[in-house]
Chain A
């Protein structure tokens, strides 16, 4: 296995491993167009961890799938760019320009960018052994014999703390528990030492203890292998534990991106602030109710005009927020937000 550092010359590395600008992925269903991702911009730092935070249905998974070009019809990437600075470290390559069935993309998948999924119970092929499926990932990317691939598979399972890896390799997915299957998924994803791991809510389907173990494991493996992680979750707690950077998504858009300290210390977007307030803090007196955000997430089929958050926003500015859409702008170093409260010439000064 080629060690990662030999692949990249240290001198001219781009600081970001992945840069998404204004990505749009729409689903052209019979009932109309669903703009599941509608202008997402975010960056993943080399070796860093970006947490992607957002309510169910806001387009987190679709963003992840778009990066690996796994979106299937009727879904389609209709705009934006996904620059990946893995091999072509200076200019990066635009993944949206590749053919979804091209050999180039296939070689990227799994080897450079790997992904693990929300549902460990259904993410493995039930008809093949765990070993077979891990080896498959290895054999399609590395020039090794079957026997060697088998050895690597056992090593990987050992690395993810699977008890008796040599036996597990001969077992079928249905014989394993959810936590064990997620370990298999991680082992499979890491078997080719990818530079970027997209983890799509990997612990949502697991119980709290298993969740803690898996998170711990991912952090350790990241230290060991030096990969970057894009960690998708709807859980602020998990974000706090895992991420260095956070992108907050709302209805197919990134509304705020910042490093974790700055986000928790100074949440700027009204949506982010509302999220923070809805968490009960220990020791703080409440009148028995959680402060929640007004209203419901609108369906992505009927997205409000202007800023999509305006119908629920506490700082709604009439005739501004419901007319124009705000842009993501840096308000301080490493902290961007998409809201008229912070936009130059925006509503704040005029109001």
Chain B
């Protein structure tokens, strides 16, 4: 043989011409890959809109969270109209005021429109006061009609509360419970995962055993069992955090295991070994080398586990084991739809489900896009 090493191998490495190769940072590459994924982009846009709407709940909904309309319990949607009784079309939406009476024979509530006065829908008009993010006070609403007319885009519940307005207040809880829960899982799972992966030994063995049981155990019965243990005397804020803890208690295992796997692999990488030879402290190695390298994957895993948490909260509240009034959430709004007879009479009560589904699908799209973007083996 002429040479043990292939000459062509050497060719490729000599005289490296830097300008011929585009050196793109990993993060930019991820962004480029993410941008190509249309579904992931749609998902992120939908989510951004959802979160904005949740923050601006008071502004978007015409009525307050606890505002009841005593004369309109279980009212079907009362929508703005463009065409009046005489079939005249106009571009300004309006509503007729409704007279609500109980039929003395059937004991059913009947709504009859008073077609004499058109109540136009005012945009950016004053109405019920509200606060945004706890400190911005205002009473300007996206749209509003003057009393005695009402506008219930999605109908009302049996206490006569506007479902449309309440859905956005519910979003505040439903959309944050996932984030709070995931953050708790993240902290807990990452600490245990990194510790287990980096130090190994007995700690690793025990945590792995616990995680194994936790992962394979079905979530819903555990959620139910744990949620049933929350004392009924707790305030609704305490309950909110308790529910987040319940959700993350059941969820941290999977995350922790993945982090551990990555740390395990990274531990053997040259630069970590080099750092160890340079007698860097464990803490320094973890913070400077392991965390940054696992961070993108941790975020991906976190995003992927958010939908399950949102669904968990929805399910618990739906069953009456989750969020309690005066707070509300999508699950709690759906709670009234749990009884079949009610649901059949008032099918609009199911509309919060559309928001749940849209959110979950969007998070799934986003999570998938992020995962593909972070995957170093994708083309």
Chain A binder among B4-12, B124-132, B145-153, B364-372: B4-12
Could you tell me the distance between the alpha carbons of A295 and B11 in the complex, rounded to whole angstroms? 9
Majority secondary structure, B binding face: loop
B1-32 interface (Cβ within 8 A of A): 1-4, 6-12, 14-17, 20-21
CB of A105 within 8 Å of the partner chain = no
Contact digits for A4-29, partner B, Cβ 8 Å, 1 yes 0 no: 00000000000000000000000001
User: Interface-forming stretch among A136-144, A167-175, A223-231, A272-280?
Assistant: A272-280
CA distance A280 to B10 in the complex (A): 12
The dominant DSSP class at the A interface is loop
Q: A234 at the A/B interface (Cβ < 8 Å)?
A: yes
Flag if B1 contacts A240 (CB, 8 Å).
yes
A205 at the interface (CB under 8 A from B): no
Chain A residues in 8 Å Cβ range of B20: 295-296, 298
From A109-117, A118-126, A286-294, give the one contacting chain B.
A286-294
Q: Which chain A residues border B10 with CB–CB below 8 Å? A: 278, 290, 292
Instruction: Return the chain B residue nearest A279 by Cβ.
Output: B7
Chain B interface, number of residues (Cβ within 8 angstroms):
19
Is B6's CB under 8 angstroms from A275's CB?
Answer: no
**B284 at the A/B interface (Cβ < 8 Å)?**
no
Give Cα distance in the complex from A56 to B15, angstroms.
17
Q: Is the CB of A294 within 8 A of B9?
A: no
Set of chain A residues within 8 Å of B6, measured between Cβ atoms: 234-237
Task: Say yes or no for B379: interface residue by CB 8 A criterion.
Answer: yes
B15 with A280: CB separation less than 8 A: no
A to B CB contacts below 8 Å, 21 in the list = A29-B379, A30-B36, A30-B379, A234-B9, A235-B6, A236-B7, A275-B7, A275-B8, A278-B7, A279-B7, A290-B7, A290-B10, A292-B10, A292-B14, A293-B11, A293-B15, A295-B17, A296-B15, A296-B21, A297-B11, A298-B20
Known: A54-B8, A240-B2. 18 other contacts (CB 8 A): A29-B379, A30-B36, A55-B12, A56-B12, A234-B8, A235-B6, A237-B2, A240-B1, A241-B1, A275-B11, A278-B7, A279-B2, A279-B3, A290-B7, A292-B10, A294-B15, A295-B17, A296-B16
Residues of A within 8 A of B (CB): 29-30, 54-56, 208, 234-238, 240-241, 274-275, 278-280, 290, 292-299
